[in-house]
Structures are given as structure tokens and as C-alpha cells.
Structure 1
Amino acid sequence: MKLPYLVFIAFFGFCSAPAPAAPVAGAPQYQLTDLGVTPFIADNTSLSIDADGSVGLWRADAEGAAQAALWRNGATALFLRNPGYRSSVSRSLSAGGTLVVGWTSTSGNSVDSLATTRAFFARGGKPVVLGTLGGRDSQAFGVNAKGLIVGAAQTKARERHAFVLSSGGVMRDLGLLPAGRSSAAYAVNAAGAIVGAADAPLAGAKIFMNHAVLWRGGKMTDLGLLPEGQWAYATAINSRGDIVGLAGVKADTRAFLYREGHMIDLGSPGDDPVSARAIGDNGEIVGMFAVNERIHHAFLWKNGEIADLNTYLPKGSGWTLLQGDGVNARGQIVCQARSAQGEIHAVLLTPVQ
């Protein structure tokens, strides 16, 4: 089954599911904190969490448009609007939520292709709109504690290139693979290592497929593919340099871990497709997998074993965890989840002994 990476949550999220399998032995149970309803966004959206448990998310404003928000210590604050922009989404945060990045749009409609979309960063709830690489649009996907911001922006030639923005405010084009046409940077760790994807032509064909890539010390490295693979995206990197993402193998979509020069298939507690969304500094990995053709659940990978994250919730909780978006070193996980009433919420899982 082959489905685009960006539409899993839209396609799978509203069906009843069979009972999940048993959890990994010795894994913790979790206390669930409801962070509120998150309106649907048809784009590369993801909740985020930092070391102290603050969460970057989005909420509907009084006009029904999505607005970037920060949840911290039990309270949620929406960011201010910039003049001329109607909606926004937070994508990553650092340092206790003091620095949040994402993108803002001139439209309240998340699928409006005529709207202008710009990357932003925010301190104290006040977003600053960023520029581009010469084109119309940009998006910020990741930030580290030192203030390095990464993402993708349009060039004068209308190509989409990965960028890094230093704390000095200079946006630098991270370039392309040989003969490539596009790239995007999705995450950056504390040491400044950046991961993402860049396309390359298939041998003997005019078809371009994405490869997972790493930028370190100004050099781009192609991380390769899984055996018999065709494409790959790197979505996250931790402080140790472990990288996760998703990769295409024949007609399947698989989650991977890249460590010490090797790309490893993480397997699945269910069916294909499987996508790894985040990795913590403790080595825990979260993402989502297909239960069947119409249902997907969040997963947790730990110490070489992968399991449905729903199996760690107390019985009768009323929640279905659809997608694991972030995990910190304390083992806290932020997920998109369906409530008993059928609404999509952001939820925070805190491990309990």
C-alpha cells in the first residue's frame, strides 16, 4: 500500500480499530493530559515537545482559522497575528518554549495554493515573519537551543531548497544533491547537524525521488536507501546523531533508524505504511503505522522493540492515539489523538512507574 507521507492523518483518523496488541514487556504506562482540539491542517504539520514538556501546537481562533500556540505548565497561549496573515502553525520549539518556529499564511484555508506562506520564529508569543531564498514561500520545520532554524524556501527559479537561518538572521541555501532539483531541512540537533530530504534522478530515467540527507559542517551527505528502496525522508535527529524517518521499499512505506552508517528498518506492530516522526535523546522513537487500510495508530520503538502506543494507556481511557509526533529525554510523548467524541486533540503522555 503506497500513500503520500503528508496525508496519513487525513485518511486514517476517523475509523474504529480492532484491539491493539500487547505492549513491550516492562514498558511504562502513561498519564494522558488533554491539550485541546487541533483543527485539521492539510500540510506537513507535526506537534512538538521540548526538554521540559512544553508543547508547540495550533488551535482555532475566533474566526475558525488555525493559529500557532504554545502549551506550557497547563496553559495554552495563541501567538499574535502578523498584519496580512490569517493563519499559522507551530512546528518546532526549544529552550522551554522561548523560541518557536513554524509558518504563517495569508489564507485561513490550509489548502489554498494561491496563498503566500512564510516561515516565522516567535519569542514571547510575538512571531517574526522570515524571508525566502528569492521566491514567494518558505516554511520553518526545526530549531535548536542555539537558535539555528531550518526549513525550506522557494528560490528565484521557483525551486524549493533547504535553508538554515543563523541567530544573526542570515538565511543560507543548503543546496541540492548532484543533478537534483529540490531539498528540505526538517530538523537540527544541538550540535548543528541538520537532516531532511533532497531529490535525485533515478538511473536512466527522468523521474526524481527523494533521498534522506544529512548536512554537517557545511557538507551534504546522502544517507542512502533501505535494501530495494526507492526513496527516503529523514524527519528527526537527536543529540547523539541518531536519525529517523520513512523510506519507500517497493510498494511499501517503512520507518527507519540511521545509526553509525547503517539504515535499519524498524518494523511495525501492524501494517504498512509506517513513519518515524521523532527520536528522543534516550533513543525512544515515535511515529505512526497502519492497523489496516483505513486505520492508523501511534507507535513507540524502544530498545529494539516496537509496539502500538495505545497499549500503554489505562483501559477504558476513551482515547485512540493516532500519531506520535515528539518525544523528549524524560520519555514524555506528544501525540495527535481521537477522543471518544471523534475530535482530534493534541495530548501529552507522561510516563508513570
Structure 2
Amino acid sequence: MSSIFALVTRTTTATCFLLSASTSFAEPPRYTVSVPPLGSAYQYPIDLNKKGQIVAEVADRNVLIAHLCSDRICTPIPTLANDQINNPVYARAMNDAGWVVGLSPTKESMHGFMFDGSATVDLGAFAEDDCGGCSLVSYANGINSQGQVVGMSETVDGNFRAYRWTAGVMKKLPTLGGAYSQAFAINDHGHIVGSASTRHGETHAFLLRHGEMQDLGVLGTGDFSEALAINNRGQVVGNSATVIGGTPEAFLYENGVMTAVPSPPGAFSVTAYDINANGWVVGSTYVTGFPNYAGYVFDGVSAYDLNLLLSESDQGDWLVMSAKSINKKGQIAAIGQSKKDNTRKVLLLTPTSPVANASNGAPYAD
């Protein structure tokens, strides 16, 4: 999405930021940076919960292993396979209890898993083959506070369908008229978002609520959208093409309306990854100058380049390249690049002052 700020250089962005901040509900918070002890290998943040726990993927002997970081200690999540050294563990989401879901090899295939802090549970797949789903692939993408998990599973005919897993039972979810669906997130009301194929062959974001599958549509005249996150107020974020074949842009869906998430001043083309209980959105955006992209936060009115919100000392040390998750306290899990040695690290950004409390927002009417 272009704007009147699209040609503003990174040098003048700070001035524009100060002007735009006055139009928001309040001055945006400043953030301090802490770095989880994940070593020097390749690392990428996946999710963040209200406790400040981060789940991240780390390259260990060229194998990606999910790690759960809590209280400055990061521990690997066990795989479903017997070989705990040479098999990857991919994380996709975490709930506020610290339970993690993702994807891991099994003896016969790759299955979604749930790690409850002590054991890694195989969620299985649709029981449509000769061994109860053992040969079919499944993914676990989201988990709520009740331990309900959503994702997608391969079917015996080779398609993939969204599912909801509750207390050991995997239920196949509908599509929007096509053969494919995938669920990415579920809130504490049990409302599910994801993407699904339509009868016209397009892929659209969906909201499944009270058993009814709702097509959320697209921005502009696009032919693709996907919904990646939903909060307990029913606000949904994701990305949508604005023209056929176009690059997906961030959207916010609430009260039946899909709107584009604005770019920070001096930036363009934003992508959304997460939304917190207060309706704050995080993701990545393209900017002028090096390194061409940055993490951002949108508070419901104004969008800000997170690099301009870091404390003075942290601005001298880090470039925030993308923001992956945000909790209700306003803490953000991000990927950053050190200005000292150019290494990339998982970062935890913590606001120096309290952010808006979710109780001050309009309650979600179920």
C-alpha cells in the first residue's frame, strides 16, 4: 500500500513519526530490548505469550529445533521421533500456559504435536488410511487457553483440510466450496480463522464461528487472502492481495468489515502476523534505506516503525527487521540484526510504560 509518505526517506521518518503520533490515542510506548540465550546459530521467533515466554526455532547441527524460552532459560522441545538429535521440531504457536504446537517427524510421516511442558503429544491425522492416519501428514498451527488445537491434515485423496483437535478428537472443518482449507488460529471462544479454497478456485480468509463458515473476502480486487490471528474480541488480522496476483497486504477485519492496515510513515507494503487482546497489530514493512524492511506496530489508529520506538541505547545496537508476535502487555517477539556484528537474533521488546489495558476496549459480543 502506497501513501503520501512513500517517498519520504528514512532520514526524515523520525519527523513524520512525531507528527503522526499525535493523532493516536496516546503517545506510543518506547521499548527496551532483551535477547533470549539461543546462541549464535540461525534463529527465528514464532510466538509470545502473556508471561513473556518465547517459542523460537534454532538451527542445531543444521536441523531446526523449536526452543521454549522462559526466565532467561531456553530448552529444546522433544520431537515425536525416536531420534532426538537429527530430527527437526517446527513450532507454530503457543498459548498463555506455555503449551506449544507445531510439526514433527514420526516413524511413518510428519504430524502436528502439542507440547504441554513435560511431553510431546502426537495429534495424529485424519483416520482415513489403513493405519488410522499414521501415513498422512498433519500440521498444528494454533492453540487456545483451553488446549484446543487447529491446523490442517492430509486426506486420503491427497487434499488438505482444516481441523479442530479437542481432547484427543480431531474434527474435519469445512471449506468455502473448494477442496482445501487450513486453520491458523483459534481464540478462547472457539472461533477459528484460516484460509480455504472457494468454488471459483480462489483462496480466501475465513472465520468459523458457531459452526458457520464465513468468507472474509479480499482487499480491492484481489484473488487471495488468509487470516492468521484472532483475539477474544473477534478482531482478525491477515494478508490479502489487492489486485489479482498482487503482493498480499495486511488487513484488519472487525464488525464485518475488512480494512487495510496502514503503513508507518516512510514505509510501504505491510504484512501482518499477529494481533493482541487490545487490537494492536504487528508485522513487517518495507522502508527506504538499509535493510529495506522493518518491524512495525499498529495501535488501531497509527502505525509505527519499531526502530524509532527503541530506547536510545537500543537504537544504537539493533535493527528490528520483523515483528512476529505481541502479547496483551505490549511485549513483542521480533527478529533483529545487531549493528555491531550483523548477527541476527530473536529479540524481546518490552514497553517502558504500560500500554492500553484490554478491559478499556469494547468487549467482544458473542
- Shared fold, TM over 0.5: yes
Q: Is the 8 A contact 1:142 1:187 kept in 2?
A: yes
**Residues 53-96 of structure 1: CA deviation (Å, up to 9, x unaligned):** 111112233x3311111111221111123334600122211133
CA distance in structure 1 between the aligned counterparts of 2:50 and 2:11, rounded to whole angstroms: 32
Q: Name the aligned partner's letter for residue 262 of structure 1.
A: V
Pairwise CA RMSD of aligned residues?
2.5
CA distance in structure 2 between the aligned counterparts of 1:283 and 1:141, rounded to whole angstroms: 21
**Map of 1:255 onto structure 2:** 250
The reply to whether residue 190 of structure 1 matches residue 183 of structure 2 is no
Q: Name the aligned partner's letter for residue 204 of structure 2.
A: H
The reply to whether residue 284 of structure 1 matches residue 276 of structure 2 is no
**Residues 278-334 of structure 1: CA deviation (Å, up to 9, x unaligned):** 011011110111225972211100131112111111244321112111111111111
Larger fraction in strand: 1
One of 293, 309, 313 as aligned partner of 1:312: 309
The reply to whether residue 169 of structure 1 matches residue 161 of structure 2 is no
Q: Name the aligned partner's letter for residue 137 of structure 2.
A: D
**Structure 1 residues 320 and 280: alpha-carbon distance in aligned structure 2, compared to 1, 3 A threshold:** same
Q: Which runs of 5+ in 1 are unaligned?
A: 2-16, 108-114, 203-207
**Map of 1:211 onto structure 2:** 204
The reply to whether residue 227 of structure 1 matches residue 220 of structure 2 is yes
Displacement of 1:21 after TM fit?
2.3
Displacement of 1:227 after TM fit?
2.5
3-state SS, counterpart of residue 248 of structure 2: strand
Instruction: Map 1:20-99 to 2 at 5 A.
Output: 21-22=13-14, 23=17, 24-25=21-22, 26-35=27-36, 36=38, 47-61=46-60, 63-84=61-82, 86-97=87-98, 99=99
**Structure 1 residues 189 and 343: alpha-carbon distance in aligned structure 2, compared to 1, 3 A threshold:** same
**Map of 1:111 onto structure 2:** none
CA distance in structure 2 between the aligned counterparts of 1:37 and 1:19, rounded to whole angstroms: 33
Greater C-alpha Rg: 2
Q: Is the 8 A contact 1:297 1:309 kept in 2?
A: yes
Displacement of 1:131 after TM fit?
1.3
Aligned residues: 319
CA distance in structure 1 between the aligned counterparts of 2:248 and 2:28, rounded to whole angstroms: 26
Q: Name the aligned partner's letter for residue 73 of structure 2.
A: A
**Structure 1 residues 117 and 18: alpha-carbon distance in aligned structure 2, compared to 1, 3 A threshold:** farther
Q: Is the 8 A contact 2:114 2:122 kept in 1?
A: yes
CA distance in structure 2 between the aligned counterparts of 1:337 and 1:268, rounded to whole angstroms: 20
Q: Name the aligned partner's letter for residue 71 of structure 1.
A: C
Displacement of 1:194 after TM fit?
0.6
Displacement of 1:49 after TM fit?
1.0
The reply to whether residue 267 of structure 1 matches residue 262 of structure 2 is yes
Displacement of 1:37 after TM fit?
5.4
Q: Name the aligned partner's letter for residue 343 of structure 1.
A: T
Structure-2-length-normalised TM-score: 0.81
Q: Is the 8 A contact 2:78 2:89 kept in 1?
A: no
Percent of residue pairs bearing the same amino acid type: 29
**Map of 1:105 onto structure 2:** 105
Displacement of 1:230 after TM fit?
2.1
CA distance in structure 2 between the aligned counterparts of 1:90 and 1:126, rounded to whole angstroms: 15
Structure-1-length-normalised TM-score: 0.83
Displacement of 1:38 after TM fit?
8.2
